[in-house]
Amino acid sequence: MKKYLMIFLLIGISVLSVSCTPVQTLEPVVATTAVPPTAEPATETAPVLELVGLEKTVSLTMEELMALPAVEGQAGIKSSTGAITPPELYKGVALKDLLELVGPLDESMGINVVAEDGYALTFSYDQIMNGTFISYDPATGEELKNPFPLTAILAYRRGDQPLDKQQDGTVRVAIISDEAKQVTDGHWSIKWVAKVEVKSMVQDWKLHLVGALDETLDRASVESCVNCHKATYTDDKAQEWVGIPLYLLAGYVDDEIKHEGPAFSDDRAAAGYTIKVVAADGYSAELDIARIARNQEIIVASLVNGNPLPEDNFPLRLVGGDLTKKEQVGMIAEIVLSLEPVDEANSEPVALVPGEGELVVMGLVDNALQLNEDALRALDVVTLTAEHPKKGPVEYTGVLLSTLLDKAGVKAGASKLVFTASDGFSGELDLASVQACATCLVAFDDEAGVYKMVMPGQPSNLWVGGVVSIEIK
């Protein structure tokens, strides 16, 4: 009996011993990989540009765009009013390099550059690949006979800073060269670019306008006008035509004011004249200005249903609900206003050569002025504080520009002012903007006989220092 009790006791001790021993558990093995440190966050996480090719589409973030081969150079613009924005340094990707991402470009193709607001302009193969843009001297605005090599780029930096998104957008077009000795037409420098699309290229063409002035507009200029002054007409076949009102094209050549301010002359229209719209084959239709004046529904169309016009109407057609079929001229090559040319005697500026320490006011004025500092100080001198675009608030003393213009007497037909410095640099502004500026000033410099333009609200290139002449054109 004692033997059995001893056996049961030993078995119980063994069970208790096992139950009190901690159970070992195996921890899971976690595979680890080294995570490289992030040098800096991506510049943009969302796409900033869409490239649309004939067969594929690519979206690029800013980081991806900046990883592409970069180029930089000097770019400035000449506006439609002739105002010059001097060259600055831009950096970005050449359009021709960018397009390699969606397939090579050939001579039958071009590209459409589209801004965020829908503004669009077509660039030709030669412009993209060879830089065949008209360029101008930044000092005089005259076309360069021996232009510098040019490259169209999609820029993301100006100087050493990213673009100002409010002013330029994330990316913009710039036409650059190695030296700051050229500017190009402003309509090519598209801001807030969102998309670049390859398209089958239509041929270039020109529109001849004849009136008080004689002007020829190229395809890009007309496209730019359409983007700024877009008008549409839907015909009885539900086709949508897009173009520019005919009266605005008349306003481009009905007097010396081409674009800014009251470009279309209501006074000339009230006096009466006719407009002849002429096709390339000589067919024409003549309309009275009374039907055309301020009429948004008679348009010179360049697109139908979003496409260039077909061959029998290309490049432009006159359309509108108020027109007969015979008046809807296609293949437009010329628009002629039955006006007398601008009086050359009235247009010829009075020639003056400023002497040392003198300022001249000349051009379309009744009384040309040639003033030294004593003569200027004999006029109404004012002191005011103006916000310089780079220096901030500064106090200036001088003579109001409006005082000088009143003293000279601006002639009818004048539309712009050109400020020229002693070194030849010049800035240009439309007359309407000057007349609306109550604080624009010709200020005295610290050095005797030296004057500078004070132009509140205008870019720094119009604050011309060392100004020696103010010409009214």
Range of the domain at 364: 345-472
CA distance 129 to 118: 25
Q: Is residue 6 part of a domain?
A: no
Give a three-class secondary structure readout of 406-459: HHHCECCCCCEEEEEECCCCEEEEEHHHHHCCCCCEEEECCCCCCEEEECCCCC
The answer to whether the CB of 57 falls within 8 A of the CB of 75 is no
For residue 340, the model assigns a pLDDT of 61
**How many domains does one find in the chain?**
3
Residue 37 has pLDDT above 80, yes or no: no
pLDDT of residue 28: 35
Residues 54, 187, single domain; the answer is yes
Taking the C-alpha atoms of residue 208 and residue 352, their distance in angstroms, rounded to an integer, is: 34
Is 380 inside any structural domain? yes
Q: Which range, of 9-23, 119-133, 158-172, 386-400, averages the lowest pLDDT?
A: 9-23
Is pLDDT above 50 for 7?
A: no
Assess if residue 109 is contained within a domain: yes
Q: Which of 293, 292, 294, 298 is nearest to 232 (CA)?
A: 298
pLDDT tens string 247-265: 999 999 988 777 655 678 8
2 part of a folded domain: no
Model pLDDT, residue 261: 55
Of 147, 182, 200, which residue is a domain's last? 200
pTM: 0.48
Note the pLDDT of residue 34.
33
Residue range 49-59: average pLDDT? 93
Average pLDDT over residues 213-233: 87
What are the tens digits of pLDDT across the range 55-72? 899 999 999 999 999 999
For residues 60 and 189, state if they share a domain. yes
Same domain, yes or no: 312 and 397:
no
Residues 257 and 292 in one domain: yes
Q: Among residues 155, 179, 200, which one ends one of the domains?
A: 200
**Is 217 in the same domain as 139?**
no
Q: Is residue 42 part of a domain?
A: no
pLDDT of residue 36: 37
68 in any annotated domain: yes
In a domain, 354, yes or no: yes
Contacts of 31 (CB under 8 A, 6+ apart): none
**Once rounded to an integer, what is the mean pLDDT over residues 294-318?**
89
Q: Which two tokens stand for residue 330?
A: 């296609």
Residues 228, 326 within the same domain:
yes
Distances (CA, A) of 320 to 211, 247, 254, 317, 332: 23, 13, 22, 10, 15
- Label residue 202 by pLDDT band (50, 70, 90): low
Task: Give yes or no: residues 61 and 192 share one domain.
Answer: yes
What is the end-to-end Cα distance of the chain in Å, rounded?
A: 136
Average pLDDT over residues 79-85: 84
Give residue-wise pLDDT tens across range 412-426: 888 889 998 887 788
The verdict on whether omega for the bond into residue 315 sits within 30 degrees of 0, i.e. cis, is yes
Residue 12 pLDDT more than 60?
no
pLDDT of 124 higher than 90: no
Q: Which pLDDT score is estimated for 352?
A: 61
End position of a domain, from candidates 200, 223, 256:
200
CATH code of the domain containing 448: 3.90.420.10
Same domain assignment for residues 177 and 210: no
What does the chain come to in residues? 473
Kindly state whether residues 302 and 191 are assigned to the same domain: no
The reply to whether 400 and 309 lie within a common domain is no
Q: Is the pLDDT of residue 10 over 70?
A: no
Domain-located, residue 4: no
Q: 296 and 178, same structural domain?
A: no
Residue type, 3: K
Q: What mean pLDDT value characterizes the chain?
A: 84
Least confident stretch, 163-167, 273-277, 364-368, 437-441: 364-368
pLDDT of 205 above 80 = yes
Residues 196 and 51 in one domain: yes
pLDDT at 310 over 90: no
